[in-house]
Amino acid sequence: MPSITIYHNGECSKCRGALEIMQERGIPHNIRWYLAEPLDKNELITLLKKLGIPPSALVRKSESIYKENFEGKEITEDEWLVILVQNPILIERPIVEKGDKALIARPSERVFEILNT
């Protein structure tokens, strides 16, 4: 069974919910505290491929840093990639990764979709 990684922000209720689901069911997993240990550009590119989305689709538009610095601006996908690496708080969460697949577990129950693959 491929290992499961949850890209986790302890301040996020959806992250805590997804983690709780895995813990309650005794599902082995790794936790990547992506704010304390940010993804580098290559890791983010790999994760985006597994998610099947462009960088702009991973942006949390509710964050104040987005509203203050990026909202309404013309930003390319390559630029978003750099922005997300430099500002990991803008990465949508939680992301659950298993093998060559990943998903954004919003709502937290979406974690079951990846557990069943």
Domain ranges of the chain: 4-115
CATH of domain 4-115: 3.40.30.10
What's residue 80's pLDDT?
98
Note the pLDDT of residue 2. 59
pLDDT, block means (10 residues), the chain with 117 residues: 86 92 92 96 98 98 96 97 97 95 93 84
The pLDDT value recorded for residue 47 is 98
Q: Output phi, psi for 49, to 5 deg.
A: -60, -40
Residue 114 burial class via C-beta count within 10 angstroms: exposed 0-12, middle 13-18, buried 19 and up: buried
Q: Distance between CA 80 and CA 76 in Å, rounded?
A: 6
CB count in 10 Å sphere of residue 75: 14
With beta carbons less than 8 A apart as the criterion, state whether 50 and 96 touch: no
Report field, pTM of the whole predicted structure over 0.75: yes
Catalytic residue among 12, 35, 75, 89: 12
| 15 flagged as catalytic | no
pLDDT at 86: 97
Angle at 21 between CA 4 and CA 51, to 5 degrees: 45
